[in-house]
Amino acid sequence: MKLPRLARRLEKEVLGVPSTIQNVQADGNCFFRAVSLELTGAEESHHKIRESVVDFMKDKSAFEGYVGRPIADYLNESKMKEDRTWATDIEIVATATFLQSIVYVYGTYDDETKWLKHSPLFRDETIKMFGQCLYIVNAHNHFKRVVDVK
């Protein structure tokens, strides 16, 4: 199922305040569920998306510089390959790089509610770009898909 693109996602880099948010199950997989919902129209592919992002991180040495240590050590310690492990900014940037698209996360940072931009760590012309930015809200340590904004 291909989801319709919001014209505003292609016209503007930063959007207004989220007005329509699609919730996902709160089980530690919520970031990957929100990405799955955006890409496929359903949450159920979250395992495959997590696995693909983690495998992508393992195959790209650039992530070691970003994480500041061997990526295998980080993945083992963070247990990111395991179900129900909550995604951090590292996985958000890895997802942006994997999809070759920007991931915006709306949340409260330093007492200010705003969009944070997570750009791909590097460009890879061999990767087919998703073609639009992803917009996700992080409220109370729970990621959800942004459907529309004010």
CATH architecture of 7-149: Alpha-Beta Complex (3.90)
DSSP bridge pairs for 22: 145
Can you give the pLDDT at residue 3?
43
Confidence of residue 1 (pLDDT cuts 50, 70, 90): very low
* Interatomic CA distance for residues 56 and 48, integer angstroms: 12
Higher pLDDT, 135 or 9: 135
Residues 51-58, mean pLDDT to the nearest whole number: 96
Per the CB < 8 A criterion, the answer to whether 137 and 143 are in contact is: yes
Cα 139 versus chain centre, distance: 15
Q: Is the pTM of this model over 0.75?
A: yes
* Residue from 109, 113, 98, 84 nearest 17 by CA: 113
Can you give the pLDDT at residue 60?
87
Rounded to 5 degrees, what are φ and ψ at 16?
-80, -165
Tens-digit pLDDT profile for residues 108-129: 988 999 999 999 999 988 887 7
Residue 4, both tokens: 């319709």
* Residue from 142, 140, 141, 136 nearest 18 by CA: 136
Confidence of residue 21 (pLDDT cuts 50, 70, 90): very high
- Percent of the chain at pLDDT exceeding 70: 91
Residue 2 has pLDDT above 70, yes or no: no
Can you give the pLDDT at residue 94?
97
Lowest mean pLDDT, pick from 42-51, 124-133, 136-145: 124-133
What does 37-79 look like in DSSP terms, one character per residue? HHHHSSGGGHHHHHHHHHHHHHH-THHHHHHTS-HHHHHHHHT
Residue 76 has pLDDT above 50, yes or no: yes
Can you give the pLDDT at residue 5?
46
User: Per-domain residue ranges for the chain?
Assistant: 7-149
